[in-house]
Amino acid sequence: MPEHLPRRQVLRTAGALGLGAAAAGALSGPAQATSTAGLPDKLTAMGVHHGKLEIRKDPFGTTSDGKQVDVYTFTNGQVTISMLTWGATIQRVETPDRRGRTTNISLGFDNLPDYATLSPYFGSTIGRYGNRIAKGRFTLDGTTYQIPINNGENALHGGTIGFDKKVWTAKVVQNDKAVGVAFTYVSPDGEMGFPGELTSTVTYTLDRRDTLRIDYYATVAGKPTIVNLTNHVYFNLAGEGSGSIEGHVLELNAPSYTPVDAGLIPTGEIAPTAGTPFDFSQPTAIGARIRDDHPQLVVGRGYDHNFVLGGEADDDGLRFAGRFWEPEDGRTVTVHTTEPGAQFYSGNFLDGTFQGIGNKTYRQGDAFAFETQHFPDSPNHPNFPSTVLRPGQTYTSTTTYTFGTK
Ligand code: GLA
């Protein structure tokens, strides 16, 4: 556990994690390291600290059909992340604020039944197709496919039982630079109406620079399919359950966005953000213009839009997508991605009807999500980047979340 933190804080953190006093001294549980391949190996002088990389595995619950679900908790001594095999879900993200006070900044639950019945995708890995497909229907190579409708008249996040509601297999990944878990799920041909057997491996690793890196990898067998994987972590950088995120300051690398119709399906237009409440090229509070008289803020009930990312990628194919900053406690999260877009969602459908992990009720605007992705409904918009994956091809995608303070 964190060597630089006072003992009292270590115990409090471990207690909050449900790890118990024994875990406060050593986070290394029964988890076994099985692979070191494909981990980030860039360590720059800036921001490096030297906490010990540790991981442990604990039971979390059992599904209604008797499958065991585990929670993996991994730390670099400063940031601590808990992930469930249910939905390859980020359950907790504990980071220090400007003054070194650590809290959980990610919305979630402390029990499996709430994830199974209440969760609006808190921290979930989303598949086979992130965001909406109009009327759940698309045509590929002349065949029309139907995905079950679960959002108005559309399909959202892979249909009624998406990858967020599956138990994934897990393998620990650990080397001297990063620690985390590789989650794998095999989706049979025809599951949720999608063609082809899709094998997805999504690897979450935390390095010593406080970067959580998500590497998505998928192949399809038998038939071509469509793929759009993402993660739906919700953050409140002042702490989960602490109130509104309207004061968070956002900077986005997004010269344009994809306007939507009343069902939140893109119209097909790629519209400039300049001069609109969607322009976050200069750091601006999320709440500054959220009530402006703009038709897209009305249909979205706030921000719930795909932003088209600009700028050049670095050698890794990653480019800056956005940065969120909470000015009171000073936490920041900076996102880079290989994806062409990101859904910035201002928590509009959180409606105060349930409580989360800290026994606080989540209300509208109490968190934001920033889902890196290909554009919603791409299969029905030939002008959008393609989401088709064919047998023999490999789907890859990488997103990084870097935690810090300012
Ligand atoms: C995405 C969608 C939102 C909402 C959330 C989940 O962000 O774009 O409209 O459905 O998922 O609640």
* CA proximity to 375, closest of 260, 220, 234: 260
Please count the other Cβ atoms lying within 10 Å of the Cβ belonging to residue 92.
24
Nearest-atom index, ligand 1, CA of 369: 7
Centre of ligand 1 to C-alpha 157, Å, is 8
Least confident among 16-20, 48-52, 135-139, 283-287: 16-20
The pLDDT of residue 76 = 98
pLDDT tens column, 212-258: 999 999 999 999 999 999 999 999 999 999 999 999 999 999 999 99
50, pLDDT greater than 60: no
Specify the residue with its C-alpha closest to ligand 1, atom 4: 349
List % helix, strand, coil for the chain (3-state, nearest 5).
Answer: 10, 40, 50
33, pLDDT greater than 50: no
The pLDDT of residue 51 = 77
Nearest-atom index, ligand 1, CA of 304: 8
Helix (H) / strand (E) containing 264: none
* CA proximity to 214, closest of 401, 403, 345, 340: 401
Distance, in Å, from the CA atom of 285 to the CA atom of 278, rounded to the nearest integer, reads: 12
Q: Is 181 exposed, middle or buried (0-12, 13-18, 19+ CB in 10 A)?
A: buried
pLDDT tens column, 349-378: 999 999 999 999 999 999 999 999 999 999
Per residue in 208-229, is it b (16+ CB within 10 Å) or e — as a string? bbbbbbbbbbbbbeebbbbbbb
Specify the residue with its C-alpha closest to ligand 1, atom 7: 345
pLDDT tens column, 62-113: 999 999 999 999 999 999 999 999 999 999 999 999 999 999 999 999 999 9
Q: Is 303 exposed, middle or buried (0-12, 13-18, 19+ CB in 10 A)?
A: buried
328 as an active site residue: the answer is no
Nearest-atom index, ligand 1, CA of 300: 9
Cβ-contact 390, 224 below 8 angstroms:
yes
Distance, in Å, from the CA atom of 118 to the CA atom of 254, rounded to the nearest integer, reads: 32
Specify the residue with its C-alpha closest to ligand 1, atom 12: 120
Q: Is the peptide bond before 12 cis (omega within 30 degrees of 0)?
A: no
Q: What is the CA radius of gyration of the chain?
A: 20
Name the catalytic one among 191, 371, 374, 381.
Answer: 371
Considering the chain, what is the average pLDDT of its residues? 90
Distance, in Å, from the CA atom of 392 to the CA atom of 241, rounded to the nearest integer, reads: 45
pLDDT tens column, 311-337: 889 988 999 999 999 999 999 999 999
Residue to mutate, 299, 349, 362, ligand 1, most ligand atoms under 8 Å from C-beta: 349
**Tokens representing residue 192 in the block:** 């949720």
41, pLDDT greater than 60: no
Centre of ligand 1 to C-alpha 19, Å, is 32
Centre of ligand 1 to C-alpha 216, Å, is 20
- Contact residues for 272 (Cβ-Cβ < 8 A; gap 6+): 255, 256
**Tokens representing residue 178 in the block:** 């990063």
> Which position has the token pair 């109490």?
366
- Contact residues for 333 (Cβ-Cβ < 8 A; gap 6+): 235, 237, 323, 324, 401, 402, 403, 404
Q: For residue 173, is it left (φ>0), alpha (ψ between -120 and 50) or beta?
A: beta
Centre of ligand 1 to C-alpha 345, Å, is 7
Pocket of ligand 1 (CB under 6 A): 120-121, 131, 156, 264, 304, 343, 345, 349, 369, 371
Residues in the chain: 406
Q: Is 394 exposed, middle or buried (0-12, 13-18, 19+ CB in 10 A)?
A: exposed
The pLDDT of 202-207, averaged and rounded, is 98
**Tokens representing residue 41 in the block:** 């190996």
**pLDDT above 90: percentage of residues in the chain:** 86
Name the catalytic one among 157, 232, 336, 374.
Answer: 232
Specify the residue with its C-alpha closest to ligand 1, atom 11: 131
Specify the residue with its C-alpha closest to ligand 1, atom 9: 304
pLDDT tens column, 232-241: 999 999 999 9
5, pLDDT greater than 70: no
pLDDT tens column, 255-298: 999 999 999 999 999 999 999 999 999 999 999 999 999 999 99
Please give the angle made by the CA atoms of 74, 79 and 84, to the nearest 5 degrees. Answer: 40
Distance, in Å, from the CA atom of 253 to the CA atom of 339, rounded to the nearest integer, reads: 12
**pLDDT above 70: percentage of residues in the chain:** 88
DSSP-assigned letters across all residues of 343-388: EEE--TT--SSSB-TTS-B--TTS-EEEEEESPTTGGG-TTSPP-E
DSSP state of 113: H
Distance, in Å, from the CA atom of 47 to the CA atom of 209, rounded to the nearest integer, reads: 6
pLDDT tens column, 339-350: 999 999 999 999
232 as an active site residue: the answer is yes
